[in-house]
Amino acid sequence: MNDIDMKCFMISVYIHHMDVDMLFDFLHERVKSPPPYWHNEASCPPSVSGGYVMVTLNYSQFDLLRGQRSWDFGEFDKNN
């Protein structure tokens, strides 16, 4: 039996539709900072320029992305 690890997971995040290229560039090490992202659509701030898209990442990509996140813990209280 193979070793079990988290690399089989696919994780979805929401980013502003204008930041898709920036996320792609970050994942391919063309830029050093990722765009802001959210774990669910309800937590996304209001947008007047088109909204958010869900992007699904493999675990390695998500691990790279979350390693750069500085958390705003007030975000967790928005929908409670």
Number of domains in the chain: 1
Task: Read off the pLDDT of residues 14-24 as tens digits, 9 standing for 90 and up.
Answer: 999 999 999 99
Is residue 7 one of the residues assigned to a domain?
A: no
Distinct helix (H) and strand (E) counts, the chain: 2, 2
Is residue 80 one of the residues assigned to a domain?
A: no
Residue reference for tokens 């659509």:
41
Q: Where are the beta strands (DSSP E) in the chain?
A: 10-16, 52-58
Cα separation, 34 vs 66, whole angstroms: 9
In DSSP terms, 57 is beta-bridged to: 11
What predicted TM-score, i.e. pTM, was given to this entire model?
Answer: 0.77
Task: Read off the pLDDT of residues 23-74 as tens digits, 9 standing for 90 and up.
Answer: 999 999 999 999 999 998 988 988 888 899 999 999 999 999 988 876 555 5
Is residue 34 one of the residues assigned to a domain?
A: yes
Domain of 67 in residue numbering reads as: 20-74
